[in-house]
Amino acid sequence: ASLSTPTGTTTQSIFGQIYEAGVTESFGPHPDVRAQVGYGLPTANPQYENWTWVNATYNTQSGSNDEYIATFVAPAAGSYRYAYRFSLDQGVSWTVCDAATGDFGAGANFGLSLEFSTLPVLTVTP
């Protein structure tokens, strides 16, 4: 979902979920999973271009998914995209998640591609 917030204020809570067979089914966070929410310019690819990332914290178990939550202080006024990324190796490598429903937001997982156009929009007002 797209967000709109004034510059310099904290965003509303942003939630992200991860499912990984053998990892997320058990109640509570898995020690190897890391989650971050980030934002960048609308033309910057979060897989390899300059984005700002903020650590997310475990929120709850949602079926077999682990749900994470984070906020950040809104940057300068303008239009941005935002996304979650997850790591299964304590932050060594990351998978950026899009909002495409066909692959359940799998984003940059092996064999899939990040659908950049489905990343939600963050509008920051003066």
Do residues 41 and 83 touch, judged by C-beta distance below 8 A? Answer: no
Q: Which among 29-33, 51-55, 97-101 has the top mean pLDDT?
A: 51-55
pTM over 0.85: yes
- Give the tens place of pLDDT for each residue, 61-80: 999 999 999 999 999 999 99
To which H or E segment does residue 96 belong? strand 95-97
**Do the beta carbons of residue 18 and residue 66 sit within 8 Å?**
yes
Residues forming beta bridges with residue 63, ordered by sequence position: none
The CA R_g of the chain, rounded to the nearest whole Å, is: 14
Backbone angles phi and psi of 99, in degrees to 5 = -110, 15
What is the tens place of the pLDDT at every residue in 68-116? Answer: 999 999 999 999 999 999 999 989 989 999 887 666 566 666 677 788 8
| Residue pointed to by tokens 């929410």 | 37
